[in-house]
Amino acid sequence: MAAAAAREFAVEVTFDEPPARFAIDQEAEVAIRVGNAHGLIVPLSAVIRQKEQPGVLVARGGRVHFQPIEAGSSGKDKVLVRKGLTVGESIVHRAQAIKPGARVRPVEE
């Protein structure tokens, strides 16, 4: 259970061996390591599917091309791309409205 305002979570912790001075209802600070993920973060709206394969539309030579990706974890509006995309590639942010092969030109942000 989480207290959203305080960003505190109630968790149950088990020990292989309890600490020497252990008592019920003691408070403790616990670090939970969940691993590291590497890749690029893109807008969730940039990810589409072709034949059940996730991918993004990459702009090359004035046209967009479907680029298969390996997607990782995602949040409300972002997704981690583990494989299939490199830094500097131009992608379509709202890919659902564009078909592969369509002509495009970059938009300055």
Say what the pLDDT of residue 52 is: 92
Say what the pLDDT of residue 18 is: 80
Tell me: the pLDDT tens digits for 22-47? 888 877 777 777 778 889 999 999 99
The topology under which CATH files domain 2-97 is: 2.40.420
- E-assigned strand segments in 1-109: 2-3, 8-9, 40-43, 47-50, 53-60, 63-68, 70-74, 78-83
Q: Is 0.85 surpassed by the pTM of this model? A: no
Tell me: the pLDDT tens digits for 43-91? 999 999 999 999 999 999 999 999 999 999 888 899 999 999 999 999 9
Domains of the chain, residue spans: 2-97
Sign of the Cα pseudo-torsion (21, 22, 26, 27, in order): positive
Say what the pLDDT of residue 24 is: 81
Closest CA to 39 of 74, 64, 76: 74
Dihedral angle of Cα 82, 83, 89, 93, to the nearest 10 degrees: -60
